[in-house]
Amino acid sequence: MKTYEIIHREQIAERVKVFIVYAPLITKHCRPGQFLIVMVHENGERIPLTIADFDQERGVVEIVFQEVGKSTVQLGAMEAGECLHAMVGPLGHASEITGWKGVVAVGGGIGVAPVFPIARGCKQNGARVTSIIGARTSELLIYEKKMRAISDELIVCTDDGSYGRQAMVTEPLRELLETEEEIDLCVAIGPAIMMKSVAETTRPFGVKTVVSLNSIMIDGTGMCGGCRVSVGGETYFACVDGPEFDGHEVDFELLMARQGMYRDQEKDAADEPSHPCRIGLHPRKPA
Ligand code: FES
């Protein structure tokens, strides 16, 4: 096997793919909550992706991504047997997975994948883990089997009721908080609006709530400043200070405004095959 070879490729939901990549040096140091930077080709964009799973014995790491822009579409077009141009990591601070009694792991959409190793780590360290996973519809639900295998209890929600309970993830979360006494941590990963709602649900109960903000990163190394977040009134970089932060302290309004910031440039990049820039600025026109 070659380093960064894609040894397994699978479509697990609409526009969502999972790659298992041979990367023994990276895998050796992986811990739950960390992320990787992936490049498809030499001039490609750096794509930050949270680690969805890893197997240190086999030297493989699992990444899950949604084809939402030019670079992730290029990534999704790669086949098993091909090699990624580069993979850097593990980056970011690892999750705190020891010392908890009761953990609720909440994953929304593609966020279920990065929540998985954190929930598993908490379980392996003695916590009772209740997982709540949600998606808009049953076809978009991922990692159900994996989450069920490592959870004491799994609650599945869909917005349209096509599978599991028709509810937002915050509904069963509130019920758990009202009835279970031993919950001391909630980990939530998913769309910003979901993480915000989860944080608002846990706030009155005083349960520590951790959210992961990898989705706003660009270069992932602390150099571009694109991942600035306001947490407790202070500015942090999600890539070097996170990706996890206290959900009760994150300024989600600012986060959501910043997430939409490069939408036009992303569209330009998708429409313009010769776009020379990697951070979303307009291409330079020849003089
Ligand atoms: S992603 Fe560029 S500074 Fe964090």
Residue nearest to atom 3 of ligand 1 (CA): 222
- pTM, two decimals, is 0.89
Predicted pLDDT of residue 272 = 54
Predicted pLDDT of residue 250 = 96
Is pLDDT at 266 greater than 80 in this prediction? Answer: no
Buried b / exposed e across 126-154, counting CB within 10 Å, b at 16+?
A: ebbbbbbbbbeeeebbbbbebbeebbeeb
Is pLDDT at 268 greater than 90 in this prediction? Answer: no
Predicted pLDDT of residue 281 = 47
The CATH architecture assigned to 5-91 reads Beta Barrel (2.40)
Q: Which atom of ligand 1 is nearest to the CA of 218?
A: 1
Domain pair 5-91 / 102-259, same fold: no
pLDDT tens digits, residue range 43-93? 888 899 989 999 999 999 999 999 988 889 999 999 999 999 999 989 999
Per CATH, the number for 102-259 is 3.40.50.80
Predicted pLDDT of residue 275 = 47
Tell me the CA–centroid distance for residue 217 and ligand 1, in Å.
5
pLDDT tens digits, residue range 137-186? 999 999 999 999 999 999 999 999 999 999 999 999 999 999 988 999 99
For 156-180, the DSSP string reads: EEESSSSSSEES-THHHHHHHHHH-
Closest CA to 119 of 138, 140, 102, 139: 102
Predicted pLDDT of residue 227 = 86
Tell me the CA–centroid distance for residue 239 and ligand 1, in Å.
5
> What is the chain's mean pLDDT, rounded?
90
The residue ranges of every structural domain in the chain are: 5-91, 102-259
